[in-house]
Structure 1
Amino acid sequence: MDLTWDEVDPRRHPFDSSSALAVISRLEPDGDRPTRPAGSVVSAPDLRWEGAEGGRWLGAMAEAITARFGRWAVGWQWTRVDGGPVVRGWCCSTHSLTTPAETLPRIADALCDWRAWLEDLAERFDRFPLGDLPDEEREGAWERATVHLVTHVVARVEAHDAWYDHCEQVLTWFLTRWGVPADRARTLVEEAIGGRFGSWVEPDGKLVQDVAEHLAVTIEIDRL
């Protein structure tokens, strides 16, 4: 999911989680409401409904949420099945899209969970105030921050399928937060990881440390 830190930074985009369900309920699109056919969720009628009425409703709902809250909100559907963080309120359309009474609270919970994750990351980014450090301390701070963030993302996504995509994204966001241009940040992160993170495999401490050292050194060389 291609999102920049400016697009998701909680400081730029106010949000009241206590009113999320009420707001989302008012955004519900007109037309077919999500009432799944009776029977198995893998039956032929069910799959046809999911690809037609259910899919249209969900697509319209997603567009309305993004229009109301901003682009940061698209992450409410980004689950670990797709390499994203564990958004606990939503699994997928097959299992989470049922009746309006059940589906709207699930969407609100997922949006709040995604927002909480972004707020958690913002707080962690600020634990490493790179902008205020003297030059001789910056490389060590980049390194410590990278180890901390990789470890935190792995714990959140449980090293699921393609978990490294979001890990790279979080590191890119962190670099961007502290002044590295987004395109350059993405390149530096990709080069530091070098394809060494894999699906379903939690990286060991030595690998994480090596990635952190590589990234810290190249960031500081880039500043010269």
Structure 2
Amino acid sequence: MDEWAEVDPARHPFDAAEAADVIRRLAPPVPPAAPVPRPRQHLDEAAWAASREADRLASDWNAAMTDALMGHYGRWAYGWHWGPRSLWHYFSQIVTSGPETLTRVAAALVDWRQWLEEVAERFDRLLPALADAALAGPDAALAAWEAAFAELLTAGSAWAEDADYWYGPCRRLLTWLLTAAGLPTDRGVALVDQVLAPWLTRWAYLSAADVADVAERLARDVVGRDPGALAGPGQSGDDWPDTWPHGWPSFRATNRLPRP
């Protein structure tokens, strides 16, 4: 789900008060709870086999639950099990009694939706500011994009409860902003993946210096390498739709260079 339109709450109705009832109606039978794990050194082969089977059943159930939610709500619901706050995991230990499991699913789905609504509120503020900055000139555009990226990186890191998992929320936020502004999805994904690559294997939150570095690099890739001019032929900015900043978002980009 790299395109903001796929998860934009404005496009996908949702009633949090009805979520628990919907999930109880859609859910496949909940598998048995996993056996209580014992200290690793005491696990014999039978215990390991039981644990692996419980993991398999829980994973299969998780996939079936996800398919059911997507069928009812749309593709945005896919993220219910990897929201920024860790209310759900694939691990079989999270599957307990049937009622408790479904309650946790509902809580995770509502939490995911609330996060998307928070993101939408940010975008409602950031996107008009970016459009105004584009009209003001390249230097203003560069500064506005850099500030927007820094804000999203800071928010994404704060939302991730574990230092190992900052990358997912940050990557999604940056890509969603670019696609919401009208950049083609494949180009937005490529830019974000390229700029985040040096930090991919760092299992720690981004420092303030890291945030500033990533934000500056990505802003220059979006606007153009030369801070005194918008991107010209052969620079990253060529993929902007020819309607930017008027009439955005638009996925029409007649000014794109042909691919080799």
Structure 1 range deviating more: 4-13 or 109-118: 4-13
Distance of 1:73 and 1:212 partners within structure 2? 29
Distance of 1:46 and 1:176 partners within structure 2? 42
Aligned to 1:205: 208
Aligned to 2:26: 27
Distance of 2:59 and 2:110 partners within structure 1? 22
Aligned to 2:131: 131
Deviation string 1:144-176 (CA, Å, 9 cap, x unpaired) is: 111111011111114532532431221011111
The structure having more radius of gyration, on CA atoms, is 2
Shift of 1:51: 2.1
State the one-letter code of the partner of 2:104.
Answer: R
Percent of matched pairs sharing the same residue: 40
Aligned to 2:65: 61
Aligned to 1:192: 195
Root-mean-square deviation (CA, aligned residues, Å) is 2.3
Gaps of 5+ in 2: 39-46, 224-230, 239-260
Q: SS where residue 198 of structure 2 aligns?
A: coil
- Could you tell me the TM-score, scaled by structure 1's length? 0.84
Gaps of 5+ in 1: 80-84
State the one-letter code of the partner of 1:123.
Answer: E
Distance of 2:148 and 2:181 partners within structure 1? 12
Q: SS where residue 105 of structure 1 aligns?
A: helix
Distance of 2:154 and 2:143 partners within structure 1? 17
1:51 and 2:56 correspond: yes
Residues 62-77 of structure 1 correspond to what in structure 2 (within 5 A)? Answer: 62-77=66-81
1:150 and 2:179 correspond: no
Deviation string 1:123-154 (CA, Å, 9 cap, x unpaired) is: 11222122343242222110111111101111
Distance of 1:186 and 1:57 partners within structure 2? 30
Aligned to 1:40: 36
Q: 2:119 aligns with which of 115, 118, 121?
A: 121
Tell me the matched-pair count.
213
- Could you tell me the TM-score, scaled by structure 2's length? 0.73
Distance of 1:9 and 1:144 partners within structure 2? 22
Shift of 1:201: 1.5
Question: Are residues 150 and 26 of structure 1, via their aligned partners in 2, closer, same or farther at CA, if it must alter by over 3 Å?
Answer: same
Residue pair 1:41, 1:94 contacting (<8 A) in 2 also? no
Aligned to 1:8: 7
Distance of 1:202 and 1:57 partners within structure 2? 32
